[in-house]
Structures are given as C-alpha cells and as structure tokens.
A and B are shown apart, each in its own frame.
Chain A
C-alpha cells in the first residue's frame, strides 16, 4: 500500500512521496505549492481511521521512551530530515526505487545510526 501510494503520487502529481519534504513545503513553501501537500497530509492523518473501521486492533502505539527523550527524538528527526533532504519514505522507498546514490547512502546511514541508537539505549544504557 505504501508502494502503491508512492506510485500513484508520481503518476498523478509527478511528486516523490517523501513525507518530510511534503511536510516541510506545506509549512514554509511557496503558497501556490501548498494545497496538494496539505490534502496529502490530511489523507495521511485519516489513513489509520479508515483502517480502524475494519480492523481497530491495528491502531496501536507503545513508546519505548518518555518525556524529554521524545522531545529530543523529535528534534533529531525534524532537523535530520531537513538537513539530509529526506526520511524513510523519500530516501528509503522513493529514492532507492529511482536508484539514487544519495538515497542509498542516506538509507545506509540512518539504518546504521538507528540500529546503533537502539543498541546503546536498550542494551548499553539499559533503559
């Protein structure tokens, strides 16, 4: 479904389905370039509710950390995706599907630091 969404967005709107990029442009982009971004984001917000009609048990979110660490994580994700021009969807799915070397290296990097962070927090740090 994620792949189909990415293909549909390219086929209909000619855009990469990169959430961090779509979100960034929706917040601070040119005004004529905002509406399609906001309707995409509203769809993204409502997606789980559409699933809930059929399978409510899929709507589950448990957090491994709390409070200040969540804020720290949000800042890292926000800054990192803008600095690196993409996230799991833009680089990991769409960029790699275009065989982009930038996306390939970005994906390797965020997978590596993600795995390292989980290792440090849950095995070394013992949280």
Chain B
C-alpha cells in the first residue's frame, strides 16, 4: 500500500512538473527543437534542472541499502551500444519533433488537450502494445 501511494505521489509530482514547465504544450516543445527558427531555449533549462536534481538526489538515494517500500533498487544493467538503442532513439526523436509530445506529456495532456492528444496517445499505445507482443512471441 505504501508503495502504490508513493508511486502515485511521484506520478502526480511528475505530471505537475510537466505542466508547469510547459512540456505538455507541443508548440512549446517544437519551438525548443526549432534551433534554426524562433528558438525557445527555456525547456533546456527545465531538462537541465531535472537532470541536476536527479543526479544529486541519486547520489544520496543509491547509497542506501534499499528503497523505503521495496526489497531492492532495480537499475538497468546494460551498457552495450546497439542498433535498437540508436535506431529506437532516432525514431522516437522523429515522432517527438513531428508532434511535440513524448510519452509523459502525452499522458498528462490527456485531461485538457482534446482530441489531438487522444489520437496521439491511442497511436502510441497501439504501437507499444504491438511491439511488446511481437517481441515476446
């Protein structure tokens, strides 16, 4: 119970952060990526401060023997650089640049961004589910 409440709080904080920083606004994201046009660097500050906060926070958290409400930390262990990593990231960037939404904002914007956000999320979910089912089989 403590675990699911704590992850709910984490989600709430994340969603509020995406909203206040305007990551949920596709036009804002596209202006951030539009370095050759009307460049709006403010989201770079958002991403940098999220990175710095996490970088410092992780130093303290990961020194502990275990998380508060779970048996152990579950960290990615892979270090190899392969084609799916680079190809997947490249494909993700294309979709992100095209529409201005990444997975977090796609979910967070659902409550207020209207039909476009629903269409984007539906296409994204179909792609995620199909990919995972194909990979598993």
Majority SS at the chain A contact face: helix
**Bound state CA distance, A88 and B102, in angstroms?**
7
Of the listed residues B7, B25, B79, B108, the one surrounded by the most CB atoms of chain A closer than 10 A to its CB is B7
**Once the chains are docked, how many angstroms separate the CA of A127 from the CA of B96?**
16
Contact with B along A26-54 (1 / 0, CB 8 A): 01100000011101111111111111100
Cα-based distance from A44 to B58 in the complex (angstroms):
21
How many chain B residues sit at the interface, stated as a range, is 35 or more
A112 / chain B contacts, CB cutoff of 8 Å = 90, 93
Residues on B close to A: CB < 8 A?
Answer: 2-22, 24-27, 30, 33-37, 46-47, 49-55, 57-58, 61-62, 64, 66-76, 78-81, 84-104, 106-114, 116-117, 119-129, 131-133, 135-136
- Choose among B22, B46, B112, B124 the residue that contacts A78 (Cβ–Cβ < 8 A): B124
Q: Give the residue name and chain of the A residue nearest to B27 (CB).
A: A62
Q: Known: A71-B119, A122-B30. Contact between A12 and B92, CB under 8 A?
A: no
* Least CB distance, B109 to chain A, in whole angstroms: 5
